[in-house]
Amino acid sequence: MENKTEQYREKLAKLKDLPLVEKNIRVAGIVTEYVERKHPKIQLIVVGGLSVEYYTTGQYATVDIDFVATSHEQIMESLVELGFERQGKDSYLKELQVSVEIPDNHLEGSYEKVRDVLTDDGCIVHMISPEDIFCDRLRALVHWKEKEQLKWMTKLYEGNELDQDYIYSRLIGIKRKRSSRCVLQYHQRAK
């Protein structure tokens, strides 16, 4: 695997001069392929800002890549092999100015709805569904009063065909359900 590791490091190095929006998804693909080939039982799923960036076609910009996956320590060791430096629970690739975080080992959403995205390098990135990232942003809006999330929810809604029944089912509870319906109804009226 050592020869392969060097090949992956070279692939990463070639991304240095790319715009951040393009660089992040391609780094995610290379990291995913490397880790999953080395550890076949691990599946890395992109969540957080990079998923919003992808589903809003680059209108949102993020400086890090968040993955959800089991086996945190094995992933961190793999990232070090690829040239990342550990910084606590996160890793940073200085040459590319890219940070990788693994905030959880469990996907807050549906594994069945995860989408596979093909990068320009021919790598597959497993991406949380737009419905689940919409729900995540709605929770941030309602629970943490992050008002800027409404803008990104609107962009997610306008740019993707969302399964509204699934969204309603994910947002259980009177307050959350009412909030989600109000937000979705707002988006429908705005169209």
CATH of the domain at 62: 3.30.460
Flag the least confident range among 14-23, 105-114, 143-152, 174-183. Answer: 174-183
Q: What is the pLDDT of residue 21?
A: 86
Would you list the DSSP string of 33-48? HHHHHHSTT---EEET
114 and 137 share one domain? no
pLDDT surpasses 60 at 173: no
pLDDT band at 174 (very low <50, low <70, confident <90, very high): very low
| Domain end position, chosen among 78, 98, 128 | 128
Query: How many degrees, rounded to 5, is the angle at CA 112 between CA 141 and CA 41?
Result: 110
What counts of helices (H) and strands (E) characterise the chain?
8, 7
Contact 33, 14 (CB under 8 A): no
Q: How far is CA 30 from the centre of its chain?
A: 14
Same domain, residue pair 96 and 118 = yes
Q: Residues 78, 143: one domain?
A: no
Same-domain check for residues 124 and 143 = no
Do 142 and 106 reside in the same domain of the chain?
no
Tokens standing for residue 100: 């990788």
Strand partners, 125: 117
Instruction: Identify whether residues 97 and 176 lie together within a single domain.
Output: no
Enter the pTM of the model. 0.87
Query: For residues 155 and 59, what is the distance between their CA atoms, to the nearest angstrom?
Result: 8
Residues 91 and 177 in one domain: no
Range of the domain at 139: 132-190
* Same-domain status, 6 and 26: yes
The domain total for the chain is: 2
Confidence of residue 182 (pLDDT cuts 50, 70, 90): low
Last residue of a domain, one of 91, 112, 128: 128
Sheet of 90-93, strand order: 85-87, 90-93, 98-104, 64-68, 45-47, 124-127, 115-118
Mean pLDDT value of segment 83-108: 95
Q: Are residues 179 and 114 in the same domain?
A: no
In the structure encoding, which two tokens stand for residue 36, read together?
A: 């999953």
Distance separating alpha carbons of residues 178 and 100, to the nearest angstrom: 35
- Cβ neighbors of 184 (< 8 A, separation 6 or more) are 157, 164, 167
Do 84 and 46 reside in the same domain of the chain? yes
Closest CA to 129 of 98, 101, 164, 104: 164
121 and 137 in a single domain? The answer is no
62 CB neighbour count, 10 Å cutoff: 17
Q: Are residues 120 and 136 in the same domain?
A: no
Q: Cα-atom radius of gyration of the chain, to the nearest Å?
A: 17
* Residue pLDDT, tens place only, 66-89: 999 999 999 999 999 999 999 988
Q: How far apart are CA 122 and CA 28, in angstroms?
A: 12
Percent of the chain with pLDDT over 90: 83
Residue whose token pair is 């509204």 = 164
